[in-house]
């Protein structure tokens, strides 16, 4: 008879010193700055921009950049929350158009393109946010309860939601907006556009919630390892569902800001944004696999995109070439953040 | 320190009791009236072959699943409702087979996952301090601020143990904790377990390595086919009877074959002056046709790194590898396969198989070009080859079309070996083939390696199991990256272990 005997079972080895060795602290110190790897890119863009056009570095222009990007930034925030929780939402861009369109149609008269319900105008924004939340809730229902793939569900929902807007508006733009929309689009508080304040406040709330609150940390736990999160008592389904709802509401708010800024809702509002949103989130260090990245990082991603767009406009790059330059610069930004961050992108 | 308490409780209420548990998943019955009783303060082993119901019992004892019938009691009291996770965690802690450490979070946050703070904002500084205290309390020397993903397997496991115990549970389940550890790390784990027992902690220990059961446990329960078979103090259940209880029949011990390798046999696998910084240096090695050469050593000896270099998974800084007499371009796996090499990688889940593909497709991956012309693969020939492999290696399956992901560990490993053997290799490199597989599968796997040698292949077998190494004609012992001894057949455990620990060499 022979016995299975693990190696060195015959001799009790003393606990080796190496078992107690504390790993080097260098790596984690760097890790703390991982979400700021785009800062050098931003600095390069600021310097390059100032050479392109003297107007670039003026407060007026930079404020302009921020205002133009505030709606996209909110979509990036929503997408970042969902990505960190390990899911995916492509339908956000359609919500950006549909939620304000339907919200507005509920309050404006038939003559202006409304449903004829003519609900009180003050309800326009709350209704719009509610609609965004409902879209998110439906996504969450299909993904968490029905156990469908988030990619396919939200791809379909992107088409459905946009189709809903096209159908209801008959493809027309809406120009008669409630006062509240126009106010948010044009008001300045303390010399800075309201949209920037609102977006800034949401990002601040996101940074604090994800950095310092259990509910926010739960997103990282779920995205990192859902089974482990469940074992730790986190109600995974409920939290992810809530994230989809919050994402929908934030996307609807982005739609409100964009509508106010442009003074109307075109049939194409939000179309194509989702790719920018993904690009911004991912170059900002948010992982497509979930569990990694920060809201601050996502914000730096938006800033890079906004600055690039602004420089291209100032430089007078013809519209036909913008997309090419745009895409290339995102690739370069990715490579720089990869080199600065050191870790393989995922 | 609480041995008095332990003694007084010995005859009293058991710390944990599961009675007449029935659990069904669809048509399969995972537990059929099984139960377990664990006395306070003892370390109790739960053994059984893959699929015996051990994992299901763990999820029921930890409150992750509700039994269809039967009841669970902790210290005589009925178990809390399933929804009350905190109550469960105060009673039972568990280190699961699958890691529940989240790699993208810090050690500190992993320790206090979902309880970073009672209410309000998280105070990170305070959290780190609490984490450091906790780590110190359990003697785990890990930086609280490190990313958990940067830690090795052993430290992650210690983290899990510390976290599990920090809920105040006095009963801890360790589900195959030794499966991924090397010899010294296992010993360190056992020392920790002994220390916990001294403090009166009750443990349930699951392992495929029966020797570990005798080393660390006081009593053992055997499960087989969803039923409880026997419970006895380890002293009353000798090794052979334990194996018989697990398999349900009298299993013969593995019969090692004897071979003589003629000195004239050609060298099929050779390494010259292989060096890889930080892993191994100046390694020379020769394997003749029909010879099985073992590679032994501790986890830091570099044996796995060396074996991975032989097959091309790693590229050495200097030195050459030749298969069948011809040098192979370093780090070029296709070239190595072309030259007639087959290998079983260390981590079958990562490099061994594609879980969603069928047995036939996995097993024929390296020889797909021979199953059809112009890049086409004939499904019929693939199935035929798969069926032959299934018969040859005795793979328990519904047929060659079953995805490998559905197989048990031992059978999946057989598919990996089938892949290695698909091209009738001249040289075979096998790394830890018996990790996480049960007794019968182990015998089949070792037999298949010996069969290959019988057909004239030269094999390198890397293993942490002395028992596996017994099939080798000679064992090369590595220590700190160098081959320090060449031990011929007929060694004793003590001799080989001493060599691995570097006792007589330094």
Q: Which H or E run contains B219?
A: strand B219-224
Q: Is B305 within 8 Å of B314 (Cβ atoms)?
A: yes
Is residue B298, in this structure, part of any structural domain at all? yes
pLDDT of residue B301: 84
Same domain for B291 and B390?
yes
Residue B8 has pLDDT above 60, yes or no: no
- State whether B183 and B276 are in the same domain: no
Closest CA to A297 of A36, A75, A44, A31: A36
CA distance B142 to chain A (A): 5
Cβ distance of A217 and B116 shorter than 8 Å: yes
- Inform me whether the C-beta atom of residue A212 falls under 8 Å from chain B C-beta atoms: yes
User: Which of residues B179, B213, B247 is at a domain's end?
Assistant: B247
Any domain includes A150:
yes
* Rounded distance between C-alpha atoms, residue A221 and residue B163, angstroms: 15
CB contact under 8 A, A6 and B178: yes
Q: How far apart are CA A331 and CA B38, in angstroms?
A: 60
Cα distances (Å, whole numbers) of residue B476 to B284, B470, B472, B500 = 11, 12, 10, 10
> For residue B293, what pLDDT is reported?
93
Handedness of CA A75, A76, A79, A85 (dihedral sign): negative
DSSP state of B81: P
Q: Which residues pair with B292 in a beta bridge?
A: B459
Assess whether B221 and B281 both reside in one domain: no
Q: How far apart are CA A241 and CA B311, in angstroms?
A: 47
Q: How many independent structural domains does chain B possess?
A: 2
Q: Are B146 and A28 in contact (CB under 8 A)?
A: yes
Smallest Cβ–Cβ distance between B104 and the set A15, A23, A220 belongs to A220
| Residue A247: CATH number of its domain | 1.10.3470
Mean pLDDT of chain B: 85
Tell me if B93 is assigned to some domain: yes
Residue B257 lies in a domain: no
Q: What does the pLDDT average to over B83-95?
A: 85
> For residue range B437-474, what is the model confidence (pLDDT) as tens digits?
877 888 889 999 999 998 889 999 998 888 888 899 99
Which residue of chain B comes nearest to A212, CA vs CA? Answer: B122
Q: What letter would DSSP give residue A141?
A: I
**Number of structural domains found in chain A:** 1
Task: Decide if A210 is inside a domain.
Answer: yes
SS3 state at B369:
helix
Host domain of residue A305? 35-341
Query: Which pair of structure tokens corresponds to residue A337?
Result: 């953040």
Residues 6+ apart with CB under 8 A from B47: B54, B206, B207, B208, B210, B213, B220, B221, B222, B223, B242, B246
Segment holding B475, helix H or strand E: strand B474-479
Angle of helix A295-315 versus helix A59-84 axis, rounded to 10: 140
> pLDDT grade, residue B476 (50/70/90)?
very high
- 3-state DSSP assignment of residue B293: strand
Q: Tell whether B292 and B439 lie within a shared domain.
A: yes
Backbone dihedral angles phi then psi of residue B223, each to the nearest 5 degrees: -110, 145
Dist. CA B267–CA B340, nearest whole Å: 13
Residues A298, A281 contacting (CB under 8 angstroms): yes
pTM: 0.74
CB contact under 8 A, A8 and B146: no
Contacts with A263 (C-beta within 8 Å, 6 or more apart), sequence order: A175, A177, A182, A185
For residue A228, give the chain B residue with the closest CA.
B100
Evaluate whether residue B310 is within a structural domain.
Answer: yes
* CA atoms lying within 13 Å on the CB side of residue A215: 16
Q: How far is residue A185 from each of residues A6, A70, A260, measured CA to CA in Å? A: 72, 11, 4
Does the pLDDT value for residue B256 go beyond 50? Answer: yes
Rg (CA), chain A: 23
Which of B122, B151, B191 is facing A214, going by the closest CB pair?
B122
Residue B108 lies in a domain: no
Nearest to B186 among A6, A225, A232 (CB): A6
Which chain B residue shows the shortest CA-CA distance from A2? Answer: B253
Here the CATH number for the domain that contains residue B280 is: 3.40.50.300
**pLDDT tens, per residue, chain A with 346 residues:** 444 444 433 333 333 333 334 444 444 444 456 667 788 888 988 998 888 888 888 889 999 999 999 999 999 999 999 999 999 899 999 999 999 999 999 998 888 888 888 888 889 999 999 999 999 999 999 999 888 999 999 999 999 999 999 999 998 898 888 888 889 888 889 989 999 999 999 999 999 999 889 889 999 999 988 888 888 888 899 999 999 999 999 999 999 999 999 999 999 999 989 988 988 998 888 888 888 889 999 999 999 889 988 888 888 888 788 788 878 877 887 777 667 655 555 4
Q: Does residue A332 fall inside a structural domain?
A: yes
Single out the residue of B450, B381, B444 nearest to residue B415, CA to CA: B444
Interface residue A294 vs chain B (CB under 8 A): no
Q: A291 in contact with B at a CB cutoff of 8 Å?
A: yes
In a 13 Å sphere around the CA of A26, the CA atoms on its Cβ side amount to 1
Collect all residues of chain B within an 8 Å Cβ-Cβ radius of residue A229.
102, 113-114
| Average pLDDT value for residue range B292-312 | 88
Token pair listed for B198: 């001294």
Q: Which domain holds residue B41?
A: 3-101+151-247
Alpha carbons B266 and B263: distance in angstroms, whole number: 8
My answer on whether B283 and B211 are in the same domain is: no
Under an 8 A CB cutoff, do B116 and A214 touch?
yes
Treating both helix axes as pointing N-terminal to C-terminal, what angle do A124-140 and A236-262 enclose, rounded to 10 degrees? Answer: 140
All residues of chain A having their beta carbon less than 8 Å from the beta carbon of residue B296 are 7
Question: Pick from B186, B217, B247: which residue ends a domain?
Answer: B247
For an interface test with A, the pick among B45, B105, B107 (most A C-beta atoms closer than 10 Å) comes out as B105
Please report, rounded to a whole number, the percentage of residues in chain B having pLDDT higher than 90. Answer: 20
* CB-nearest partner of A23 from B146, B184, B212: B146
* Same domain assignment for residues B159 and B307: no
Residues of B in contact with A10 (CB under 8 A): 493-494, 497
Q: Answer yes or no: do B380 and B484 share one domain.
A: yes
**Token pair of A172, please?**
């027309």
Which residue of B lies nearest to A236 if distances are taken between CA atoms? B114
State how beta strands B202-206 and B43-47 pair: parallel
CA distance B397 to B388: 13
Radius of gyration of chain B (CA): 24
Kindly report the nearest CA distance between residue A247 and chain B, in angstroms. 22
Which residues between 22 and 81 in chain A have a beta carbon less than 8 angstroms from any beta carbon of chain B?
22-23, 25, 27-28, 31
How far, in Å, CA of A297 to CA of A303, rounded? Answer: 10
- Sheet (strand B326-328) strand order: B280-288, B267-276, B318-323, B326-328
Residue A26 counted as domain residue: no
Q: Which residues of A touch B494 (CB under 8 A)?
A: 10-11
Q: Name the DSSP class of B289.
A: T
Q: Are B225 and B271 contained in the same domain?
A: no
Which DSSP letter does residue B201 get?
-
- Decide if B110 is inside a domain: no
Tell me which of B247, B279, B294 is where a domain ends: B247
The answer to whether B30 touches B72, Cβ cutoff 8 Å, is no
Residue B393 in any domain: the answer is yes
> In angstroms, rounded to a whole number, what is the distance separating the alpha carbons of residues A338 and A327?
17
Q: Given this model, what pLDDT does residue A142 score?
A: 94
Question: Under a CB-based contact definition with an 8 Å cutoff, are residues A210 and A216 in contact?
Answer: yes
Interatomic CA distance for residues B384 and B405, integer angstroms: 20
* CB-based contact A287:A278 (threshold 8 Å): no
Domain assignment of residue B135, yes or no: no
Which residues in chain A have Cβ-Cβ distances shorter than 8 Å to B191? 12, 15
Largest CA distance in chain B: 77
Q: What is the pLDDT of residue B490?
A: 85
| Whether complex ipTM tops 0.90 | no
| Spatial CA neighbour of A90 closest among A332, A284, A273 | A273
C-alpha dihedral sign at B305, B306, B312, B318: positive
Q: Residue A190 contacts by C-beta under 8 Å, 6 or more apart in sequence?
A: none
Which residues are paired to B271 by β-bridges? B285, B321
* Cβ-based contacts of A20 with chain B (< 8 Å): 141
Identify the three-state secondary structure at position B155. helix
Give the per-residue pLDDT at B10: 46
Q: Which of A16, A18, A213 sits opposite B122 (nearest CB)?
A: A213
Shared domain check, B274 and B364: yes
Answer whether B173's CB lies under 8 Å from B93's CB. Answer: yes
Would you say B310 and B270 are in contact if contact means Cβ atoms under 8 Å apart?
no
CA B159 to chain centre: 19
Note whether B289 and B456 are within 8 A (CB): yes
Same domain (yes/no): B317, B200: no
CB contact under 8 A, B178 and A12: no
pLDDT digits (tens, 9 = 90+) for B330-357: 888 888 888 888 888 888 877 888 888 8
Cβ atoms of B329 and B305 within 8 Å: the answer is no
Q: What is the C-alpha separation between A57 and B32, in angstroms, rounded?
A: 75
Take residue A71 and report the two structure tokens written for it: 């709606």
Give whichever of A18-22, B181-185, B291-295 has the largest mean pLDDT: B291-295
Whether A218 contacts chain B with CB within 8 A: yes
Backbone φ and ψ of B490, nearest 5°: 100, 15
List, in order, residues 6 or more apart from A87 with CB less than 8 Å away.
A143, A150, A240, A243, A244, A290
């Amino acid at each position: 008879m022979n016995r299975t005997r693990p190696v060195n079972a015959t001799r009790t080895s003393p606990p080796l010193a190496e078992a107690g060795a504390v790993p080097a602290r260098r790596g984690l110190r760097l890790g703390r700055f991982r979400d700021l790897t785009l800062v050098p890119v931003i600095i390069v863009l600021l310097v390059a921009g100032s050479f392109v056009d003297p107007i670039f570095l003026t407060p007026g222009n930079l404020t302009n950049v921020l205002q133009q990007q505030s709606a996209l930034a909110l979509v990036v925030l929503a997408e970042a929350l969902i990505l960190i929780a390990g899911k995916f939402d492509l339908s956000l861009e359609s919500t950006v158009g549909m939620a304000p369109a339907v919200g507005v149609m509920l309050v404006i008269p038939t003559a202006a393109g409304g449903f004829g319900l003519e609900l009180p105008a003050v309800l326009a924004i709350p209704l719009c946010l509610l609609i965004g939340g409902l879209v998110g809730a439906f996504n969450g229902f299909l993904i968490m309860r029905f156990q469908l793939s988030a990619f396919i569900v939200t791809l379909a929902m992107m088409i459905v939601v946009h189709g809903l807007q096209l159908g209801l508006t008959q493809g027309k733009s809406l120009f008669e907006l409630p006062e509240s929309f126009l106010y948010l689009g044009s008001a300045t508080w303390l010399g800075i556009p309201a949209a920037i304040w609102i977006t800034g406040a949401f990002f601040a709330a996101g940074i604090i919630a994800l950095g310092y609150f259990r509910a926010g940390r739960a997103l990282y736990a779920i995205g990192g390892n859902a089974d482990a999160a469940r074992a730790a008592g986190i109600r995974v389904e409920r939290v992810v569902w809530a994230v989809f709802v919050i994402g929908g509401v934030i996307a609807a708010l982005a739609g409100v800001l964009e509508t106010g800024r442009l003074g109307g809702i075109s049939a194409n509002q939000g179309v194509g944004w989702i790719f920018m949103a993904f690009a911004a989130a991912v170059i900002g260090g948010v992982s497509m696999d979930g569990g990694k990245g920060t809201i601050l990082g996502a914000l730096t991603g938006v800033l890079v995109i906004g600055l690039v767009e602004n420089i291209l406009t100032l430089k007078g790059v013809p519209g036909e070439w913008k997309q090419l330059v745009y895409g290339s610069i995102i690739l370069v930004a990715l490579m720089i953040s990869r080199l600065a961050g050191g870790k393989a992108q995922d | 320190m609480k041995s008095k308490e332990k003694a007084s409780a010995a005859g009293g209420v058991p710390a944990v009791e599961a009675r007449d548990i029935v659990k069904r998943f669809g048509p399969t019955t995972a537990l059929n009236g099984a139960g377990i009783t664990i006395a306070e303060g003892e370390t109790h082993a739960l053994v059984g072959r893959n699929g015996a119901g051990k994992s299901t019992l763990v999820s029921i004892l930890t409150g992750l699943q509700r039994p269809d019938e039967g009841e669970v009691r902790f210290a005589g009291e009925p178990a809390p409702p399933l929804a009350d996770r905190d109550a469960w965690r105060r009673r039972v802690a568990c280190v699961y087979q699958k890691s529940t450490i989240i790699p993208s979070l810090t050690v500190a946050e992993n320790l206090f996952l979902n309880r970073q703070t009672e209410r309000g904002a998280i105070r990170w500084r305070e959290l780190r301090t609490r984490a450091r205290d906790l780590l110190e309390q359990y003697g785990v020397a890990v930086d609280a601020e490190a990313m958990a993903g940067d830690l090795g397997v052993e430290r992650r496991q210690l983290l899990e143990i510390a976290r599990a115990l920090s809920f105040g549970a006095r009963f801890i389940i360790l589900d195959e904790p030794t499966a991924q550890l090397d010899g010294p790390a296992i010993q360190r784990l056992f020392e920790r377990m002994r220390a916990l027992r001294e403090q009166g902690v009750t443990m349930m220990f699951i392992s495929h390595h029966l020797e570990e059961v005798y080393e660390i446990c006081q009593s053992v329960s055997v499960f087989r086919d969803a039923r409880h078979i026997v419970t006895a103090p380890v002293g009353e259940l000798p090794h052979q009877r334990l194996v018989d209880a697990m398999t349900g029949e009298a299993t013969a011990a593995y019969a090692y074959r004897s071979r003589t390798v003629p000195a004239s046999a050609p060298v099929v696998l050779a390494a010259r002056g292989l060096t890889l910084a930080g892993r191994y240096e100046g390694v020379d090695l020769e394997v003749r046709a029909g010879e099985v050469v073992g590679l032994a050593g501790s986890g830091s000896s570099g044996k796995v790194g060396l074996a991975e270099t032989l097959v091309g998974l790693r590229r050495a800084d200097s030195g050459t590898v030749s298969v069948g007499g011809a040098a192979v371009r370093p780090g070029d796996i296709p070239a190595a396969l072309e030259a007639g090499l087959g290998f079983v990688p260390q981590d079958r889940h990562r490099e061994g198989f594609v879980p969603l593909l069928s047995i036939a497709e996995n097993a024929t991956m390296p020889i797909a070009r021979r199953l059809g012309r112009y890049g086409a693969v004939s499904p019929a020939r693939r199935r035929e080859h798969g069926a032959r492999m299934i018969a040859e290696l005795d793979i328990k399956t519904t047929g060659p079309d079953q995805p490998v992901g559905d197989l048990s560990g031992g059978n999946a490993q057989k598919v990996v070996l089938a892949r290695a053997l698909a091209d009738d290799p001249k040289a075979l490199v096998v790394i830890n083939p018996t990790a996480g597989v049960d007794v019968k599968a182990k015998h089949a796997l070792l037999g298949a390696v010996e069969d290959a040698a019988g057909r004239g292949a030269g094999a390198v077998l890397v293993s942490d199991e002395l028992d596996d190494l017994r099939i080798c004609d000679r064992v090369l012992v590595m220590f700190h990256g160098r081959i320090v001894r060449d031990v011929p057949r007929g060694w004793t455990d003590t001799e080989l272990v001493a060599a691995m620990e570097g006792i007589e060499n330094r």
